[in-house]
Structure 1
Amino acid sequence: MKIVGKLIALIVGLFFYAAIQLPAAAPLPNFVVILVDDWGWTDAACYGSRFYQTPNIDRLASEGMRFTQAYAACTVCSPTRAALLTGKYPARLHVTDWIAGHKRPYAKLKPPAWTMFLPHEEITIAEALKPLGYATASIGKWHLGGTNYYPQTHGFDVNLGGTDRGQPPSYFAPYKIATLPEGPAGEYLTDRESVEACRFIEQNQSRPFFLYLPHHAVHTPIQAKAEVREKYLARRTPDSLQTNAAYAAMVESVDDSVGRIMNKLKELKLERRTVVILTSDNGGLKPVTDNSPLRAGKGSAYEGGVRVIAIVKWPGVTRPGSVNDTPIITMDFYPTILEMAGTAPRPGQIVDGESLTPLLRGTGGLKRTALFWHYPHYHPGGATPYSAIREGNFRLIEFFEDQHVELYDLKNDIGEKQNLASSLPEVTARLRARLEAWRRDVGAQLPEPNPDYAPEKDRFGAAPPARSGAAGKEGARPQ
């Protein structure tokens, strides 16, 4: 019996010794996702602008990885936001236009009956992280449905500023945003959002958190702090492509927000275990900004409407100041965040994005060979209903009004000036067939012939709209 007792004591002792020797589990990473609205591909100094001053964004890029060929999931906002939160193509979600979309009752085609909210059955990043113990907050623009579809119904503990609206009534208090308590008169909205974000970080510093900070800026109305606007009026030169001083001041306020967040993380000693992601929901709005060398801008079928800034800082993993030329897209952030947190999509859950962790680690590339877009709507930015595919350096756009296609070699023609569709018929046919197969796979909704088609009554006529000089005024503009 003594021998048995000693054996039991030995086994128990070894068990406790082993338990003591086991390393403590690494703390779960925090996530800060900053989504800027209508922010163009060249609207930061680290992306080539000589007009906008963005020292904090540049610092983030110097500490993380900057992607040169990042894409928004759509040329307008709501679809990209839905794609970011779910990892799915907008076409699969049937959320394919900004909510509630432009109306063209006499246009040649009639848009499909698309979904004007983020369905509850979709599993957002917040809902995927909450079982792991994450605190979650959405601070800023939501624009994914009415009150029944607000952030708190999609896994967020906190919703400040998120409504069904696509732009704020004003960037200066009183804001008249139902989900944001009013601040003192004259308070600036971008500042307020970043202050609330820092407060959330402070309140949850002892637990993992997911902070989604979709700034209303730099969406219209173009309103900025007077003193910052004056600075940019003085910076304009005759050869400047980007010249809107009020917009530049709005960009600087976003940059201030990025700096405020980064400084708060450092102050609380959270910097080393917090992943920061910065990107935009679509290309820059012309003519408020200039997206050169890209063609067109928000609401168009071209690169200027979908190529965006994207910076990821994964402390201890991403090589500081690294640059990556791999084409990536909004949906990729979903599986990336889940993998970083040590979890995965649920069984049977469809995720169209691909984790960026091999790129961020520098250990490999992505498996996919193409990216897709689908916009079966009209937009004042120039878009008529279209789908597009990028495979390698080729980008093909199929327009539904007359079924014509355009093919561009982005490596040699980033401005999409030379249509190669007729000179490269085999490439055109192959990409068009692949695009059609993708639409079938995701269940993309197509526009239909409009029985009320009347070119003489159509607001923009049969051709994409020309922008009037008045569009450059620093005031309210279309969604």
Structure 2
Amino acid sequence: MMKYINICVLLFGAVLATQAEEKPNIIYINADDYGIMDSGFMGRKEYVTPNLDKLASRGMVFTNAYAPAANCAPSRACILSGQYATRHGVYTVGESDRGKASDRKIIPTKNTLSLQPDNLTLLGAFQQAGYKTGNFGKWHVGEDPKAQGCDVNVGGSHAGGTGKYFAPYKLKNIEQGPKGEHLPKRLTDEAIKFIEANKSENFFVYLAYYQVHTPIQPRMDLVAKYNDVPGIQPKYAALIEGMDIYIGELMDYLDKSGLSENTIILFSSDNGGINKISDQAPYRAGKGSYYEGGTRVPMIVSWPAKVKAGSRSDVPVIGLDFYPTLLDAATVSVPQDKILDGKSILPILTQESGIEKRNLFWHFPIYLQAYSVDNDEGRDPLFRTRPGSTMLSGKWKLHEYFEDGSFELYNLEDDKGERTNLAESMPEKLAELKKLLYAWRAEMNAPVPTAKNPQFGKKQSDSKSKKGKKNKKKKASDKK
């Protein structure tokens, strides 16, 4: 009898050891231009997001999550490289001298369009660790995701937008679907097919929906219910609901396949929402701005095996943290010579401990032209942002603008809408934060443009103005 018990104990111990060594599967869902105030689980009940709400109830919601940049390409470059933009030079989409030349006082830093081949991406690190990796949707940091760490790629290239959401598609690297097929449904199905083919191994799925980036082309059967809902655009709400439905289909598949327990699902957005499409109040401004509405994003991490259901964290986190956190969760070592600027937030997820308090930084030595004078809520009506830096230190938010050396200081605890500038009334706090910001920029060798723009204040010639309008129209979808 004792021999039998000993055998059972040994077998049980072996099972526990196997479970302890089992690495999690990973699904990172990156919605495009999905604002902090665009979902039910963040309190915006006008938008119907039952599946995201369910995902939130299964895991941890981060109420102070930030994108590492305020528009698409730089944010994705930072997340996928794990590095601040000052290291890889991707500061914006396309050129950095956006807007009219006559309105730009200084010459902005030249932009880099792609992550360099030797900059190991998040998916590349997991590929090296033996995971099967797949990109489904928007890539935007290089022309070929397969050359940047993806075993499979469906619909990803350097393109920043779709052009249209229904087949026939205008995208590269995707087999044409039947006429009328909805792109986010197709991407979800392709991701599920990839998981099914690789479920006996560890997999990393990057499901990067082009939704809810313009054009606003939802399933029309979802629109009518929103026609009488005040304060929202019905088609935009339907586009959100469509994405939510497909995320629900993925969750259902994982449940039925028995994969949910040890699969990490990280849901977030690449930047803030477009304010003229969806008001991000109480936060100021939206995509392209470095006020809170441009950089705050929704964030959920579900991992039933390790993360307590229904938990929340108000610790400030940033997309730079995804790379080290996911490596940590999978017990994968940081690749040799790889510099990571984020911190692993695994101790927060498992509630074993916290992380050391830190400051967060954004650096944007570039211009982004205005979307809408009436809705942007920017610093001035011409640009969503002008060249500068921002930093978050506890409840304090500091902005510096390079054109005139001016500062804005906000107490987010009392003023989350960033309306009352305290820079003049709190000189000691301003000096303290300036010192921290300047030290960070020196450490990062961050470029600060100072050269004056000779075109500033000059009226453009008709030929140049027409050429600019033509180029602007041609590149509109990618440059947003």
1:102/1:167 CA distance change after superposition, 3 Å: farther
2:454 is matched with: 452
1:179 is matched with: 173
* TM-score for the superposition, normalised by structure 2: 0.88
Query: Cα offset for 1:291?
Result: 0.3
1:18/1:476 CA distance change after superposition, 3 Å: closer
- Does the alignment pair 1:81 with 2:76? yes
- Does the alignment pair 1:327 with 2:316? yes
Query: Cα offset for 1:131?
Result: 2.9
Q: Which amino acid aligns with 1:44?
A: S
Q: How many residues align?
A: 440
Q: Secondary structure at the match of 1:178?
A: coil
Query: Cα offset for 1:316?
Result: 2.2
- Does the alignment pair 1:137 with 2:134? yes
Larger radius of gyration: 1
Query: Cα offset for 1:20?
Result: 11
> CA RMSD, aligned part only?
2.0
Identify which of 96, 108, 112 aligns with 2:91. 96
Counting only pairs closer than 5 Å after superposition, residues 330-345 of structure 1 correspond to structure 2 as 330-345=319-334
Q: Secondary structure at the match of 1:231?
A: helix
1:253/1:430 CA distance change after superposition, 3 Å: same
Contact 2:165-2:217 at 8 Å conserved across structures:
yes
- Does the alignment pair 1:198 with 2:192? yes
Counting only pairs closer than 5 Å after superposition, residues 174-323 of structure 1 correspond to structure 2 as 174-234=168-228, 236-237=229-230, 240=231, 243-323=232-312
2:412 is matched with: 410
Tell me the distance in 2 between the aligned counterparts of 1:257 and 1:119. 33
2:376 is matched with: none
**Percent pairwise identity:** 39
Q: Deviations over 1:293-345 (max 9, x none)?
A: 00011111200000000000122221111111000000101101001111121
Q: Secondary structure at the match of 2:297?
A: strand
Query: Cα offset for 1:109?
Result: 1.7
Contact 1:112-1:448 at 8 Å conserved across structures:
no
1:429/1:21 CA distance change after superposition, 3 Å: closer
Contact 1:110-1:447 at 8 Å conserved across structures:
yes
Query: Cα offset for 1:87?
Result: 1.1
1:126 is matched with: 123
Q: Which amino acid aligns with 1:73?
A: P
Q: Which amino acid aligns with 1:453?
A: Q
Contact 1:31-1:210 at 8 Å conserved across structures:
yes
Tell me the distance in 2 between the aligned counterparts of 1:323 and 1:312. 10
Structure 1 unaligned spans of 5+ = 1-16, 460-474
Query: Cα offset for 1:221?
Result: 0.9
Q: Secondary structure at the match of 2:30?
A: strand
1:101/1:142 CA distance change after superposition, 3 Å: farther
Query: Cα offset for 1:401?
Result: 1.2
Q: Which amino acid aligns with 1:451?
A: N
Tell me the distance in 1 between the aligned counterparts of 2:460 and 2:349. 48
Query: Cα offset for 1:260?
Result: 1.2
Q: Which amino acid aligns with 1:317?
A: K
1:356 is matched with: 345
Query: Cα offset for 1:458?
Result: 7.1
Identify which of 356, 365, 369 aligns with 2:354. 365
1:164/1:315 CA distance change after superposition, 3 Å: same
Contact 1:33-1:213 at 8 Å conserved across structures:
yes
Q: Secondary structure at the match of 1:282?
A: coil
Query: Cα offset for 1:63?
Result: 0.3
1:181/1:355 CA distance change after superposition, 3 Å: same
Contact 2:93-2:479 at 8 Å conserved across structures:
no
Contact 1:99-1:143 at 8 Å conserved across structures:
no
Q: Deviations over 1:232-261 (max 9, x none)?
A: 113x13xx3xx1111111111111121111
- Does the alignment pair 1:159 with 2:153? yes
Query: Cα offset for 1:115?
Result: 1.5
- Does the alignment pair 1:378 with 2:356? no
* TM-score for the superposition, normalised by structure 1: 0.88
Query: Cα offset for 1:156?
Result: 0.3
Q: Which amino acid aligns with 1:84?
A: I
2:378 is matched with: none
Runs of 4 or more consecutive aligned structure 1 residues displaced over 6 Å after TM superposition:
17-21
1:59 is matched with: 54
Contact 1:176-1:182 at 8 Å conserved across structures:
no
1:396 is matched with: 398
Tell me the distance in 2 between the aligned counterparts of 1:270 and 1:409. 43
1:412/1:164 CA distance change after superposition, 3 Å: same
Q: Secondary structure at the match of 1:271?
A: coil
1:294/1:477 CA distance change after superposition, 3 Å: farther
Contact 1:221-1:477 at 8 Å conserved across structures:
no
Identify which of 29, 35, 40 aligns with 2:35. 40
Q: Which amino acid aligns with 2:79?
A: L
Q: Which amino acid aligns with 1:56?
A: N
Query: Cα offset for 1:183?
Result: 0.7
Tell me the distance in 2 between the aligned counterparts of 1:126 and 1:185. 32
1:33/1:93 CA distance change after superposition, 3 Å: same
Q: Which amino acid aligns with 1:221?
A: P
